[in-house]
């Protein structure tokens, strides 16, 4: 866990919630992008770039998604990663369970659930050494 990223997530909680109130995220990649877009550094260099997220998925109906995030800047020198487990049905997939039992617009409960999922993503974000 990278404490400064978790702290930034908490500081931006209301802004992140407003993103989730606007619409349901399409997939885990979108949630990772939302989380990363609120992470900052003292300079652009060394800061995760929400436009440089690479997805690895070797699963089928279920498995692990690995997201590798490059830093901002001309030639990235830093990378972070996060693993997210997924399943094939709403009983075994967190994102699908949140979205499947709701309306077209996210409910307050769904926003809370998306925030919990986003918090787990930022807590599990690790720097590649």
pLDDT in tens, 42-73: 555 578 999 999 999 998 888 999 999 999 98
Between 41 and 88, the higher pLDDT residue: 88
Average pLDDT for 96-116: 86
Sheet holding 126-127, edge to edge: 48-57, 63-71, 79-86, 126-127
d(CA 120, CA 25): 16
Measured from the Cβ of residue 107, the count of other Cβ atoms closer than 10 Å reads 13
| pTM recorded for the entire structure | 0.91
Nearest-CA neighbor of 97 among 84, 110, 108?
Answer: 110
């Amino acid at each position: 866990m990278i404490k400064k990223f978790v702290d930034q997530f908490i500081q931006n909680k209301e802004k992140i919630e407003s993103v989730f109130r606007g619409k349901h995220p399409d997939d885990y990649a979108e949630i990772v992008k939302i989380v990363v877009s609120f992470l900052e550094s003292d300079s652009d260099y060394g800061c995760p770039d929400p436009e440089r997220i690479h997805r690895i998925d070797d699963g089928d109906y279920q498995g692990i998604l690995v997201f590798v995030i490059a830093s901002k800047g001309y030639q990235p020198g830093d990378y972070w990663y996060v693993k997210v487990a997924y399943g094939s049905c709403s009983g075994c997939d967190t994102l699908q369970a949140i979205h499947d039992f709701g309306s077209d617009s996210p409910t307050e409960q769904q926003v809370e659930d998306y925030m919990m999922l986003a918090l787990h993503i930022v807590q599990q974000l690790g720097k590649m050494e």
